[in-house]
Amino acid sequence: MSHPRQLTHLFSIYQTLVKYGLDELIPVTRALPILRLFLWLTPAYWQRSAAAPRGQRIREALEELGPIFVKFGQILSTRRDLLPDDIALELAKLQDQVKPIPNAQAWQILHDAYGCAPDVVFAEFDPNPLAAASIAQVHAARLLDGSDVVVKILRPGIEKRIKRDIELMYLLAELTQNYWVDSRRLRLIEVVQEFERHLYDELDLMQEAANCAMLRRNFEESDLLYIPRVEWDYTRRNVMVLERIYGIQISDIEQLKAHKVNLRRLGEIGVEIFFTQVFQDNFFHADMHPGNIFVDAENPDYPHYIAVDFGIMGVLNKADQHYLAENFLAFFNRDYHRVAELHVVSGWVPSNTRVEDFESAIRTVCEPIFNRPLKEISFGLVLMRLFQTARRFNMEVQPQLVLLQKTFLNIEGLGRQLYPELDLWQTAKPFLERWMRERLGLWALWQNVQEAAPQWIETLPQLPILLHSSLEQLSQERRQREQMLVQLKSLEQAVKSNGRQHGVNIGGAALLLSGSLLLSLQNLSVSYTVMAGFALASTGLAILLIAWLSDNR
């Protein structure tokens, strides 16, 4: 990584903020008057546009800065509890109203992908995009068989821009970790690595299509979430074609109310969908901002969700999945001692952490939010307080969970807009209790037996041979040990017959014998503990023998 190049990029970012009159938001500008004097000499300062509303200026600056900054704005846009309305409304446009690529360029991308003019592939193609985001844009189209579809086109040159921004994130992470000791527990470089991996996944639309197909299978029998069908014959690495869906965007609360949609049910099934993806399927949609979520209001009393954009999907390993479920349940039951224990057992806090102290700190943060509706809880503020608590106990950030935490914040933001009276605890707790019973109960044991049965059946005919081989090996190892004991007795006789003057040489021979013993036992597949015991005992005996004989020469 070239640090000078990245520092130049960092300065260009600062220049963009100056251009949109946002430099006052950066404390260092006020703290260092010399920096402001320098900025007066730059062209960007004289091109600044401070006349537009601040929300618009922030949105336009993020668009100009590129995809990663747009994604940051998308995340912020879901947190209406943390932002003033004017800024939140403008940032919401980053979800699907980013400046589109020119029509001619989009047409050329399709031509290159299919090797022919797009009007040969599509009966109809709308040149005006339905939605335009930071990495791709979506057009309405119709296939030759009459099927209504949407065509997702990757922005040209996007990989180069993302690579540049990722390099800058690495530089900032390195500088932070080098010059701020407390930041090391944040594991910033690993967090950037995790973010980078998921971001690059978005640049392969074939992979996104595969994600879409898998999520569709997971919810095929469900009436909670609908996933559109992939048109594989028309999908390429930079072009994806999906069944077109129709619904009300989740953020359009007025339209939902006009259709008399049951918002309480929407809020409750939203929580259920989240926990189903995370714990039951272990494959969750990790980019659930309002631009990617729609509602089918055909049956307003029993509405369901429709999801699009599957570029970022999350998975957890079994250990993290188990610890998270137990943490949630313990938290819902106000069992803070168990929460503290789980953090220690899982390695999320140092093993020498005093559980009682950690329990007390968690109780202080979490107890005030219980039995309150969602509208009275700000998980953003709770997370800030938990972060302060974590700092006291040297708790490290878990990079593999960052994506899940981001998704959970998105879900909370959506739930707050839909049905602020939602009781998150009562909605989620029964699901987690059922999942834990299925995972740890007799049913889980029976499922494990069923999964292992084919392997057992395959191994069963070989058991007599394996048993005979094991017995033969044990017998051989016993004979070998007996031979070694005979050699040790011979060595003892040699010591007595040759006298003490040759003791040092004989002791050396004992050391060699102990090494041979170690190698022999290793070749016979004896366990490491037995092997080490024999070797250490014989080596120690030889050293003592040498010392005693040397002192008495």
Q: Minimal CA–CA distance to 488: which of 458, 511, 456, 468?
A: 511
Amino acid at residue number 404: L
Q: Minimal CA–CA distance to 289: which of 312, 266, 322, 265?
A: 312
Measure the CA–CA gap between 15 and 9, rounded to whole angstroms. Answer: 10
479: region left, alpha or beta (phi > 0 left; psi from -120 to 50 alpha): alpha
User: If you search the block for the tokens 């190049």, which residue do you land on?
Assistant: 5
- Cα 239 to its chain centre, rounded Å, is 26
Q: Which CATH architecture has domain 103-159+199-312?
A: 2-Layer Sandwich (3.30)
DSSP state of 500: G
Written as one string, the DSSP assignment of 525-540 is T--HHHHHHHHHHHHH
89 to 43, 76, 84, 307: CA distances (angstroms) = 30, 10, 9, 22
Write out 147-203 in H/E/C secondary structure: CEEEEEEECCCHHHHHHHHHHHHHHHHHHHHHHCHHHHHHCHHHHHHHHHHHHHHCC
**Token output for 138:** 């979506």
Residues 431, 437, 441, CA angle at the centre, nearest 5°?
A: 165
Measure the CA–CA gap between 401 and 390, rounded to whole angstroms. Answer: 15
pLDDT for 343 equals: 85
Half-sphere exposure of 381 (CA within 13 A, CB side): 11
Residues 19 and 61 sit within 8 Å (Cβ to Cβ): yes
**Token output for 397:** 């950030």
Domain extent listing, the chain: 3-95, 103-159+199-312, 160-198, 314-450, 462-551
Q: Minimal CA–CA distance to 397: which of 182, 175, 198, 185?
A: 185
Q: Known catalytic residues? A: 287
35 to 20, 21, 41, 47: CA distances (angstroms) = 17, 15, 10, 17
Measure the CA–CA gap between 103 and 128, rounded to whole angstroms. Answer: 8
**Token output for 534:** 């024999």
Measure the CA–CA gap between 327 and 425, rounded to whole angstroms. Answer: 13
148 to 122, 220, 230, 329: CA distances (angstroms) = 10, 21, 12, 44
Measure the CA–CA gap between 470 and 465, rounded to whole angstroms. Answer: 9
Residues 342 and 358 sit within 8 Å (Cβ to Cβ): no
pLDDT for 549 equals: 47
Measure the CA–CA gap between 146 and 143, rounded to whole angstroms. Answer: 5
Residues 535 and 518 sit within 8 Å (Cβ to Cβ): yes
pLDDT for 463 equals: 61
Q: What is the pLDDT along the chain (553 residues), one digit of tens a residue?
A: 456 666 666 677 777 777 777 766 555 444 445 555 555 556 655 566 556 788 888 888 888 877 777 777 776 676 565 567 788 788 878 766 678 888 899 999 999 999 999 999 999 999 999 988 888 999 999 999 999 999 999 999 888 888 887 887 787 777 777 766 666 666 677 777 777 777 787 889 999 999 999 999 999 999 999 999 999 999 999 999 999 999 999 989 999 999 999 999 998 898 899 889 988 899 999 888 788 899 999 999 999 999 999 988 888 888 888 888 888 888 888 898 998 898 888 887 888 888 899 899 888 888 887 767 766 766 656 666 666 676 678 776 666 677 777 777 777 777 778 888 887 777 888 888 888 887 765 555 555 555 555 665 666 666 677 666 767 777 776 777 766 666 666 666 665 665 555 555 555 555 455 555 444 444 444 444 444 444 444 445 545 544 544 455 5
Which value, to the nearest 10 degrees, does the dihedral of the CA atoms of residues 409, 415, 416, 422 take?
A: -120
CB atoms within 10 A of CB 49: 12
SS3 state of residue 504: helix
